[in-house]
Chain A
Amino acid sequence: MTEWTRHDLLNIRDLSREEIELVLETAKSFQEVSRRDVKKVPALRGKTVVLLFFEPSTRTRISFELAAKRLSADTLSVTAGGSSVSKGESLLDTAKNIEAMNVDLIVVRHAASGAPKIIADALGPSVINAGDGCQAHPTQALLDLFTVKERLGRIEGLKVGIIGDILHSRVARSNLWGFTKLGAKVTLCGPPTLMPRDVEQLGVRVTYDLKEVVAQSDVLMVLRLQKERQQDKYLPSIREYARLFGINKEKLKSAKKELLVLHPGPINRGVEISADVADGEHSVILEQVTNGVAVRMAVLYLLLGTKSKADGEEKDGSAVS
């Protein structure tokens, strides 16, 4: 099996297929821990994990926090307000202050693309990108891959439709890499105004015809539509968006029986997805949440297993008995 040698997890784009599979397999082993009465193992005892969130997020933060706690790491949640400029302290200053307290890993969420990379490049502790701007949300993609693999047994050869605001979606960008690397065929579908330029060059297909995507897909990933997109004039109206691209029971009539519907949450019921679909037979939305903890445990475990940047590369072949 591949060995994990990475110090940080910044995006799926950089990972090899083997590395993604290692995370998924490790996560499989961690699922069981969350089902025990005593939901805790001592693997990361004495490690300190800081959740540095420059952008509000409830579910991702809670999921990371729970994952770290189930591995016995100490966690500390830091919510830094708004942009670093308005706060008067730069991103690096904030991060360096946290590093100075001898933490082992920093989970970063930031509204600007590349912010976790800036921290990772400058600092010693491992960094996990928990969502940066419109660029990447690697653990979301990993948990989506995990959920689909659990349900359908494979990723290779699946047809995956990603529906909605692709332009502003870090979830779409990370999943696009994850699914294509594991051999799925990805189709993007959404309003042309919310489709990033040249995205076909990343090895995906683009269509504006939702009907066609629904009929052929094994997996539909429905993205959250931010209400601000109408104010930004990307859309004539949220109502028309819901009519054209909102997923409801009626539109799923032509879908395959085993179709999975995923959503990264939080859901705007009635906008991008109707209640009967979100709660219906195809939906695996809550399984995504459950699996998120196992996947994040796996990522934390893999990143914190090595000692440091310097000697992490070295391999030790001797058997431990």
Chain B
Amino acid sequence: MKILLIKNAIIVNSKDIASKPQDILLENGRIAKIAPSISTKEAEIIDAKGKLVLPGLIDLHVHLRTPGQEHKETVETGSRAAAKGGFTSVFCMPNTNPVIDNASIVESIKKEAQCVGLVNVYPVGAVTKGQKCEELTDIWELAQAGCPAISDDGKAVHNSQLMRLALEYSKMAGVFIIQHCEDPCLSHRGVMNEGLVSTTLGLKGWPEVAETIIVARDIELARYLKARVHFAHMSCGRSIELIRMAKAKGIPVTAEVCPHHFTLTDDLVRSFDTNYKVNPPLRTAADVAAMKEGLADGTIDCITTDHAPHAQEEKELEFDHAPFGMIGLETSLALTITELVEKKVLTFPQLVEKMSTAPARVGGLANKGEIREGLDADITIIDPKKEWVVRKEEFASKSHNSPFVGRTLKGFVETTICGGKITYQA
């Protein structure tokens, strides 16, 4: 394997941003050495002058659509999109067809991802067979096959008894549960946030209480069972309040938020543009403000994308009939810089915390999330000042259902290095 040498790197870790440039030597998939000046003959040199060097970004929430929906995304196109977005590790959700509810599917996805070789793919197994919320999957076998987490994402494990059992069992199996918080009775047929805008447009509402009820219930289960719950894609301010209270009491819960929930509001649905249809739905300006507050004060641990590709013909439908979801891998970093770092909600070290260090910690990825000698050589080099326009034709993803098309964003991924190998170069 080639040896890489990054010269003049301003290293950003979650703790701090380096005051002086350093050189980073990557060898055998590891960060071999960090020093003020390294010279070696056989290394390929990357000059990072004027750039920021971050630990590789980690996304705990991605839909790769494989198996079964390869017309939306494949492991290959999804990996390319991830690398282009600066990601070196992604968790892929199990709502595929068939559902990732047994070890053989986990293995086949891992194998395919290794063949593509652009990003570390960690399949998330289902909590219940077929995601039907009826019986548990073989959770231990899923863990053995390589699932760091289980989830019924796309739906909640809404049956409280089943959730209790899953939490107890997964503790033994050494995996954690990612909960999609949605009470299906309360959100039934809902397509957007319930409130003034849904009332005006005559669209069926998906009320915030459908989310908060599951958050509150799972906090209680986590407290009672001393088991960890990770809350996926939080959308409303009240959920953040509940999690803040739980954390203050030492209850083992963690949470993530997606860029669209800290940048967009339900007012945009007035256009009936189905790229704004997402689950959980876009909420109000007050909720957006609460997300920023939750990120800043540490209530929200991670930023994830909920990258959800859909084909154009699937999205070009009536708002009621179009599927939920938007892609996010290629815009997440720039949105976080533009909306949070530039607006002084987060610092760059905090960005690294939310997009790499915390996801590694929450996801149980021991040698990632930090730039330190001996850790995995997963590195993202960015130009924090460069502005670019999001263009439909330029997505590496197979789909382009993004509401951010046409926006000018700040922060540009220059180079992505995964396991010591360059996986993306602008």
Contact = CB atoms under 8 A, between A and B. Distances in A.
A118 B198 contact: no
A133 B317 contact: no
Given A83-B321, A112-B319, A197 B198 contact: yes
A113 B201 CA distance: 7
Nearest to B192: A113
Contact of B195 (A85, A117, A136, A197): A197
Nearest to A134: B202
Nearest to A92: B316
Nearest to B189: A232
A199 B199 CA distance: 6
B318 A115 contact: yes
B201 A84 contact: no
A232 B177 CA distance: 33
Contact of A173 (B195, B196, B202, B321): B202
Contacts of A132: 202
A230 B313 CA distance: 35
Q: Which of B202, B203, B317 has the most CB of A within 10 A?
A: B202
Interface in A76-91: 83-85, 90-91
B200 A13 contact: yes
B205 interface: yes
Interface in B177-208: 194-196, 198-203, 205, 207
Q: How large is the interface on A (under 10, 10 to 19, 20 to 34, 35 or more residues)?
A: 20 to 34
Contacts of B194: 197
B321 A197 contact: no
Contacts of B319: 112-114
Given A118-B272, A197-B194, A197-B205, A112 B199 contact: no
A113 B202 contact: yes
Q: Which of B196, B316, B318 has the most CB of A within 10 A?
A: B318
A277 to B, nearest CB: 27
Interface residues of B, number: 19
B70 interface: no
B320 interface: yes
A196 interface: yes
Interface string B260-289: 000000000000100000000000000000
Question: Is chain B's binding surface mostly helix, strand, loop or mixed?
Answer: loop
A196 B198 contact: yes
A112 B321 contact: yes
B186 to A, nearest CB: 12
A282 interface: no
A55 to B, nearest CB: 12
A147 interface: no
Given A90-B316, A136-B202, A198 B321 contact: no
Contacts of B316: 90, 92
Interface string B116-150: 00000000000000000000000000000000000
Contacts of A196: 198-199, 205
A134 B201 CA distance: 7
Interface string A81-121: 00111000011100000000000000000111111011000
Contacts of A13: 200
A135 interface: yes
Given A90-B317, A113-B318, A133-B203, 8 more contacts: A85-B317, A91-B317, A110-B318, A112-B320, A132-B202, A136-B202, A173-B200, A197-B195
Interface of A: 13, 83-85, 90-92, 110-115, 117-118, 132-136, 170, 173, 196-199, 201-202
Interface of B: 194-196, 198-203, 205, 207, 272, 313, 316-321
